[in-house]
Chain A
Amino acid sequence: GAGVSQSPSNKVTEKGKDVELRCDPISGHTALYWYRQSLGQGLEFLIYFQGNSAPDKSGLPSDRFSAERTGGSVSTLTIQRTQQEDSAVYLCASSLGEGEYNEQFFGPGTRLTVL
């Protein structure tokens, strides 16, 4: 079956521009997560959605970062006024529901490069 998909796979942008990253979770998965993986670093949690609401936004690094989820499915991560330090691979994951017993399935990621 279809896994988690993300688009675009690569995005190169200029400093100061806004970018939108998209995630399509596995159908039926109510939980959705965004993580960031910088070069040589571990995955860093950004935000968690349960349905369309985001009960945990604690990992968003600044107010330039925002995310939304519509219809309990597709999610968009928006970065405004991008900075060079935003360059990273942005990974999306989904799971059946909240709680510790639900394996998270990851998408292939979007590699963002800010020049």
Chain B
Amino acid sequence: GQNIDQPTEMTATEGAIVQINCTYQTSGFNGLFWYQQHAGEAPTFLSYNVLDGLEEKGRFSSFLSRSKGYSYLLLKELQMKDSASYLCAAHGSGNTGKLIFGQGTTLQVKP
């Protein structure tokens, strides 16, 4: 079957660093996406990993280990506006581009 697991909720302090983990099991794997979704809004693209290793983009970094079926999103220098849901999504086999999403991690940043 296909399964994406990530924590339901996390809390962190403004200015700190937080790591959101995601494990996946899919029938075939082509890459892993992270999206950010503020309440009541559309998900917006954060990162895409297809090869093992760390991809850094400003305050956000994403890591992938294909052999372990594991990814994480790292957020540095947290700001209040980072309070949102973070969605991990795997692109499985085939070439349709359809994404398999986890349930999302709601991050609350506190002052």
A105 within 8 A of B: yes
| Complex Cα–Cα for A41 and B35 (A) | 15
Q: Let me know if A108 and B42 touch, CB within 8 A.
A: yes
User: A96 CB to closest chain B CB, in angstroms?
Assistant: 10
- Interface range, A side: 20 to 34
Q: Which of A4, A33, A43 has the most CB of B within 10 A?
A: A43
Task: Give the chain B neighbours of A35 by CB distance below 8 A.
Answer: 101
Size of the B side of the interface (Cβ < 8 Å), in residues, is 26
B44 within 8 A of A: yes
Query: Which chain B residues (23-74) contact chain A, with CB distance < 8 Å?
Result: 30-31, 33, 35, 41-45, 48, 50
Task: Give the chain B neighbours of A100 by CB distance below 8 A.
Answer: 30-31, 50, 91, 95, 97
Interface residues of A (CB under 8 A from B): 4, 31, 33, 35, 40-45, 48, 50, 55-56, 59, 91, 95, 98-109
List 15 extra interface pairs beyond A41-B103, A42-B101, A100-B50, CB under 8 A: A33-B97, A33-B99, A35-B101, A42-B87, A43-B99, A45-B100, A48-B96, A91-B42, A98-B96, A103-B45, A103-B48, A104-B33, A104-B45, A106-B35, A106-B44
